[in-house]
Amino acid sequence: MQNVNLKIEKNVKVGTDIYLMKLVGDTSSIKKPGEFINITVPGYYLRRPISVCDYGTGYVDILYKVLGLGTKDMSTFKEGMMLDCLVGLGNGFDITKAQKPLLVGGGIGIAPLVGLARAFNEKGIKPILVFGARSKNDIVLVEQLSELCDLHVCTDDGSLGFKGNVIECIKASNLDFDYYYSCGPQKMLEFLSKAYPNGCVSLEARMGCGFGACMGCSIETTKGPKRVCKEGPVFEATEVIF
């Protein structure tokens, strides 16, 4: 973990209430896709934990949805603004577990899968990605994802791609994979873990500190209580007690 000041290079709307922010500065503490950063939002006591969408030397991209007052304020932040951030937080994805990876994203849960897909590409592997959402208005970054993945889109209302949820899409498409990586709504992750035990889930939780001190984000697992911010956010699918 490192406390750094990062500068906003861009903060643009890419979907319905969905924004992509690029931050530049010292991001050397980010080691794996699936980690998160904790951002100080002026006027609020607690930092905002946001998944790392993509990262590289000197930059980190975050994808976030306006869901409350804090993220609403973030959507107004201008280029050049400096943000106090904790970076290098959480236990990210282990890309050594798959030779035929399947990535499964639900809604804004697509965020950490972008950097994960890039990491697989750097290994010479183009993963399959199933991206599910309520409607086409929630499907974002399609061009970028199509370059990195064999992309399958599904929507609840059928407005784009396959009509149905991610599990139905996986079955209907008869996808071949040996391990999956997922992030999205808790119900999606719960049913996915029951249908396919051979994978991992990236969880969201309300966090106080973001680095394991306050115990506020503890969950129940088959191995006892664990903290989403420290032992997670990535857990084996069969380990989480939903």
pLDDT tens digits for 65-103? Answer: 999 999 999 999 999 999 999 999 999 999 999 999 999
Q: For residue 71, what is the DSSP state?
A: H
CA–CA dist 49, 232 (Å, integer): 13
pLDDT at 169: 98
Nearest to 189 by CA among 239, 128, 137: 239
DSSP code string of 50-64: EEEEEEETTEEEEEE
DSSP string for 135-146: SGGG---HHHHH
Over residues 192-201, mean pLDDT:
97
Does the predicted model carry a pTM greater than 0.75? yes
pLDDT score for 19: 98
What mean pLDDT is predicted for residues 31-39? 96
Residue 168 has pLDDT above 90, yes or no: yes
Stretch 25-51: mean pLDDT: 95
Joined together, the tokens standing for residue 112 give 């950490």
Q: Which burial class, exposed, middle or buried, applies to 21 when counting CB atoms under 10 A from its CB (0-12, 13-18, 19+)?
A: buried
**Is the alpha carbon torsion for 136, 139, 144, 147 positive or negative?**
negative
Contact (CB, 8 A) for 167 and 190: no
Residue with tokens 């959402």: 133
Domains in the chain, CATH or no CATH each: 2-89 (2.40.30.10), 95-202 (3.40.50.80), 203-242 (2.10.240.10)
